[in-house]
Amino acid sequence: MTTMARTCFTCSLLLGMACSIVIGAYEESLYPRKISRGNYHEAIQRLQSFKASLTTRDSIASAPSSLSPFSSPPAPAPAPSPSPLSLQGVNYPRVYHVTSYGADPTGSSDSTEALLAAIADAAKGPSEGYLMQGIKNLGGPQINLEGGNYLISQPLRLPVAGVGNLMIHGGTIRASDGFPADSYIIDLSPFSNEGNRESSSTSYNFEYITFKDLLLDSNFRGGGISVINSLRISIDNCYITHFTTNGILVQGGHETYIRNTFLGQHITAGGDKNEKDFSGTGINLQGNDNAVTDVVIYSAAIGIMVTGQANAFSGVHCYNKATGFGGTGIYLKVPGLTQTKIVNSYMDFTNIVAEDPVQFHVSSCFFLGDANIVLKSKNGVINGVDIVDNMFSGSDDGVEIVELDQSNNPFHQIEQVIVDRNNARGMKLKATVAKGSMQGNGTSWTVDFNNVLLFPNLIKHVQYSVSTPGSTFPNHILRNVSENRVVIETNKAVPASVFVSVDQSEAS
């Protein structure tokens, strides 16, 4: 025991050292710490093109940025001076109370101008250096809604682009009946008037803007929050409802983090009699590197629509519109390069659809009410897919836990697909690995795996054994694997059992 323990300890030491060496090497190549002035931009470009090559495609290419976190600010930060503050009549700490601007917290009269004025003062207030190049660091002013309920007739926008480190929090904002259709209550859009921007050298509009503790009611006029070409936007503990387009739209940019948030077109708790009419999308991610964590989408035609890579989903509960009524929980429309993880989520009568999935991971999720995963072929490519350790529960209607939609085109490039270790209750288990056995007396044994194997007519790897009583030693051979049927033959008739394991992924 002691020797064993010591050996293992040595092993782990060695392993630990190996790991740190590997990590060290990786960091070294990716993030060279010491860069001489001359090749600085070159190095950054290499870093960025490396990242882009991993995660972007032409249609939704991540906007190239020109700086990285270890750079020094491009310009000396203007020190906040007390005079503009006193001119604005605002003192530290910079909390902009919207009622001081005349906003009506009872929600009966229009507060658009007051809210815009408070936002403008915060966004145009003193700044303290820069975040990303061209993004002024506002230093964290807060626009405080003071627990009020405000009616607005125009989207809330920041008056200048190129600012960051600001928060709007603590109240309800409702779109009026005259709110422009298809607009967003909060709109982080680019500005046509680029003259407002501090510097045009950055390609991002905003960085580190936080929306927290807000109820946004779109009043069926449009959407909740739109985040356009921005960086590190945080949407936390919000309740977004009555949208017709998207609850949240993220377009371009990266690292919008949506967490602890509830989204629903209609306020319902399931079993709504109008569920089949639900429309709109809870969260529409048209960009890379975003995360949705601990979020509930309780009403919408599509829970989350994804058209960018490297997005991550965890703790998402979708009961937006049952797939039986034509709804989808999470739709991954990134054929050919998906790069999406969905973990620890709850698909509640809503399915996951992935088109030509390439690098796609689903694990530790619970699928209820015949919800399943549909792998939809566009160009027949599926590569690097792991669907493991999930639970599925259905109503004994024979719905497959993972289903192929090959109506456009059969999958013909199938590599590294692993569907395994899932369990199903009242649904049909499907997998890419399977075990089977057969007893017989004769010269031929056929074990049919069509019932469980995901892909038709695909067995890349077989292992089998033959067990026969008595003292005979028959010759035996694997004769055929076509049509997902494994045929074993012996050279003479014997009573025997054959045990077979098959695998549809690459033989490893």
Could you list the residues that contact ligand NAG (CB under 6 A)? 441, 480, 482-483, 485, 495
Nearer to ligand NAG, 336 or 495 (CB): 495
Instruction: List phi, psi (to 5°) of 46.
Output: -60, -45
CA separation for the pair 374, 407 (Å, rounded): 12
Q: Which secondary structure element, helix H or strand E, spans residue 226, and what is its range?
A: strand 222-228
CA separation for the pair 204, 207 (Å, rounded): 7
Nearer to ligand NAG, 405 or 489 (CB): 489
Nearer to ligand NAG, 57 or 485 (CB): 485
Nearer to ligand NAG, 271 or 469 (CB): 469
Q: How far is the CB of 190 from ligand NAG (least distance, A)?
A: 59
CB 279, CB 332: distance < 8 Å: no
Nearer to ligand NAG, 45 or 482 (CB): 482
Instruction: List phi, psi (to 5°) of 92.
Output: -65, 150
Q: How far is the CB of 346 from ligand NAG (least distance, A)?
A: 41
Q: How far is the CB of 496 from ligand NAG (least distance, A)?
A: 9
User: How many residues appear in the chain?
Assistant: 508
Token output for 78: 């203007």
Token output for 127: 């700044």
Q: How far is the CB of 490 from ligand NAG (least distance, A)?
A: 12
Tokens 């409802």, located at residue: 241
**Contacts of residue 36, Cβ cutoff 8 Å, sequence gap at least 6:** none
Q: How far is the CB of 471 from ligand NAG (least distance, A)?
A: 14
Nearer to ligand NAG, 324 or 440 (CB): 440
Q: How far is the CB of 474 from ligand NAG (least distance, A)?
A: 12
| Terminal-to-terminal C-alpha distance of the chain | 33
CB atoms within 10 A of CB 375: 25
Instruction: List phi, psi (to 5°) of 386.
Output: -120, 120
Q: How far is the CB of 485 from ligand NAG (least distance, A)?
A: 6
Nearer to ligand NAG, 297 or 494 (CB): 494
